[in-house]
């Protein structure tokens, strides 16, 4: 039996999936992402432990299921903006600085860039590579001066898994550095010059789906890996967009997890300013396709915080959640999420707190606030791009929280299609590998076929409650302000 392996290096877990060539999942293995430090705004991942976990995953995937005679390909997806400085041999000079690390927040002064905002295809955020490098020059100049290449964590994994040992990135991950021109598919020399950076210190950008070469012998965990080819992967949100079939302008992808994003097609609207409108132009994992990505907030972290304080998950999972929500609807405190659009300086808060409010009210208020912020972002993107989103297709961590998603559908006044029981990022990796191996001839047909076989639930807005939220939404926008 011939198979494909997808690896996804995420904020909380490293996931491996084994697929048969017809798209059926045969096995999965999940390991926690290993952090060296995760406190006081510092978030550092152990890159060596990531490689060790992947070695364990590759071995374990071949056990506990049907006999696999050959793994034809391995593709790697993962989080963006998680950078490692390496030497000429690809060895880390410092741990991986994760995307949610706050150390470089003070280095971002938007006023410094107003005269050159037309060069940006991303809104400047502390997680982007120029600000990480600037932090190193100011706080650890020896590491900065000794760095041969700056790699995203997925690029680092690819380098070590590859027998050829080349420093390569794909267009989707490159577009998350703030130094890449997604229209020309080249590093943006005007920006690298501005930040006094050398393009030679960046990996070579190539299209996702490129064949990289054989798997390194050290990672051939069994005879099935003897002829395995590595396929260049990319950003996990773009993999989910591929599997989710987000190709037409009437649908939006809501990718959820530790952070939450909305992904919509790019229609080359000249009125859109990525800098001023706080959104990003990102290369898809399919060559020449582009998306606009807007980030809601670190909603997964917000929900975990609310669970620790108010037992949010207990209330969200109640069978009578709908009745509970309607009972408390008109007395909820208004919650404004922190870190909106991934800006660390934006604080969150509750408004209209009263003495009778309890953990049910605060839990429902947090869920409501997240949904209201998602609605605000979708409205912003639709207005700027002249789109009309008729369907929101949701994937990722929130897909199991059906009660919350029913609330979200009502608050956004949009139907939400929930993909159940499968990791859409891994399915995107499977499709990309199938295209690279010439197993599929048409990407849209492949995505449609894969999506057709998935378990889906369509959640429709509660019309009566949705009418209440027209006023509530305007109050939210007023209290939230323009930030």
% of residues, the chain, pLDDT over 70:
98
In which residue are the tokens 């920006």 written? 191
pLDDT of residue 36: 93
Tell whether the model's pLDDT for residue 471 goes beyond 80.
yes
Burial 363-372 (b: 16+ CB within 10 A, else e): bbbbbbbbbb
Q: How far apart are CA 261 and CA 246, in angstroms?
A: 13
Q: How far apart are CA 245 and CA 266, in angstroms?
A: 15
The domain spans of the chain are: 2-238
What DSSP designation does 368 have? Answer: H
pLDDT of residue 482: 64
Task: Give the CATH H-level superfamily of domain 2-238.
Answer: ATPase, nucleotide binding domain (3.30.420.40)
Tell whether the model's pLDDT for residue 418 goes beyond 80.
yes
Q: Which residues contact 312 (CB under 8 A, 6 or more apart)?
A: 303, 306, 363, 366, 367
pLDDT of residue 246: 63
Instruction: Work out the widest C-alpha separation in the chain, in whole angstroms.
Output: 66
Average pLDDT, the chain: 92
Tell whether the model's pLDDT for residue 459 goes beyond 80.
yes
**Banded model confidence at residue 483, pLDDT cuts 50, 70, 90:** low
Tell whether the model's pLDDT for residue 41 goes beyond 60.
yes
In which residue are the tokens 């080249």 written? 186
Q: What is the mean pLDDT of residues 49-78?
A: 94
- Give the range among 63-72, 73-82, 208-217, 301-310 with minimum mean pLDDT: 63-72
Q: What sign has the CA pseudo-torsion 202, 206, 210, 213? A: negative
Classify residue 356 as exposed, middle or buried by CB count within 10 Å of its CB (0-12, 13-18, 19+). exposed
Q: What is the mean pLDDT of residues 15-30?
A: 92
Choose among 26, 17, 13: nearest CA to 429: 17
pLDDT of residue 396: 84
Chain-centre distance of CA 286, in angstroms? 16
Tell me: the pLDDT tens digits for 90-138? 999 999 999 999 999 877 776 677 778 788 999 899 999 999 999 999 9
Strand 455-459 relative to strand 334-336, pairing: unpaired
Q: Which stretches within 352-462 are classed as H helix?
A: 359-385, 402-412, 424-436, 443-452
At residue 208, what are phi and psi to the nearest 5 degrees? -55, 145
Chain-centre distance of CA 98, in angstroms? 13
- Give the range among 273-282, 371-380, 404-413 with minimum mean pLDDT: 273-282
């Amino acid at each position: 039996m011939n198979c494909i392996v997808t690896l996804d290096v995420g904020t909380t877990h490293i996931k491996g999936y084994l697929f048969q060539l017809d798209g059926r999942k045969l096995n999965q293995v999940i390991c926690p992402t290993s952090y060296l430090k995760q406190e006081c705004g510092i978030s550092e991942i152990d890159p060596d432990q990531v490689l060790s976990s992947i070695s364990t995953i590759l071995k374990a995937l071949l056990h506990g299921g049907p006999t696999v005679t050959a793994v034809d390909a391995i593709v790697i997806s993962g989080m963006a903006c998680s950078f490692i400085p390496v030497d000429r041999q690809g060895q880390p000079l410092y741990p991986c600085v994760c995307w949610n690390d706050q150390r470089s927040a003070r280095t971002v002064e938007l006023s410094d860039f107003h005269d050159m905002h037309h060069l940006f295809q991303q809104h400047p955020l502390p997680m982007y590579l120029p600000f990480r490098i600037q932090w190193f020059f100011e706080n650890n100049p020896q590491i900065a001066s000794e760095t041969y290449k700056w790699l995203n964590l997925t690029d680092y994994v690819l380098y070590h898994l590859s027998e050829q040992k080349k420093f390569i990135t794909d267009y989707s991950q490159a577009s998350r550095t703030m130094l890449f021109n997604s229209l020309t598919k080249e590093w943006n020399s005007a920006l690298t010059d501005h930040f006094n950076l050398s393009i030679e210190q960046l990996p070579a950008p190539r299209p996702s789906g490129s064949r990289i070469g054989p798997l390194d012998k050290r990672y051939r965990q069994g005879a099935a890996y003897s002829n395995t080819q590595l396929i260049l992967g990319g950003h996990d949100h773009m993999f989910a967009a591929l599997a989710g079939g987000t190709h037409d302008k009437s649908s939006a992808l809501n990718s959820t997890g530790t952070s939450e994003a909305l992904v919509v097609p790019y229609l080359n609207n000249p009125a859109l300013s990525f800098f001023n409108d706080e959104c990003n132009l990102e290369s898809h994992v399919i060559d020449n396709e582009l998306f606009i990505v807007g980030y809601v907030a670190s909603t997964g972290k917000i929900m975990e915080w609310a669970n620790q304080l108010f037992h949010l998950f207990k209330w969200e999972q109640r069978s009578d959640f709908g009745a509970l929500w309607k009972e408390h609807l008109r007395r909820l405190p208004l919650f404004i999420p922190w870190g909106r659009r991934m800006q660390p300086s934006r604080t969150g808060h509750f408004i209209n707190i009263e003495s009778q409010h309890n953990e049910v009210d605060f839990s429902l208020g947090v869920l409501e606030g997240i949904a209201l912020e998602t609605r605000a972002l979708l409205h912003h993107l639709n207005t700027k791009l002249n789109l009309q989103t008729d369907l929101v297709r949701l994937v990722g961590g929130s897909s199991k929280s059906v009660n919350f998603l029913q609330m979200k559908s009502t608050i956004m006044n949009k139907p939400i299609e929930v993909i159940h029981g499968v990791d859409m990022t891994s399915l995107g990796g499977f499709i990309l590998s199938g295209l690279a191996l010439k197993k599929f001839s048409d990407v849209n047909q492949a995505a449609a076929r894969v999506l057709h076989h998935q378990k889906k639930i369509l959640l429709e807005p509660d019309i009566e409650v949705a009418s209440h939220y027209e006023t509530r939404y305007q109050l939210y926008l007023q209290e939230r302000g323009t930030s």
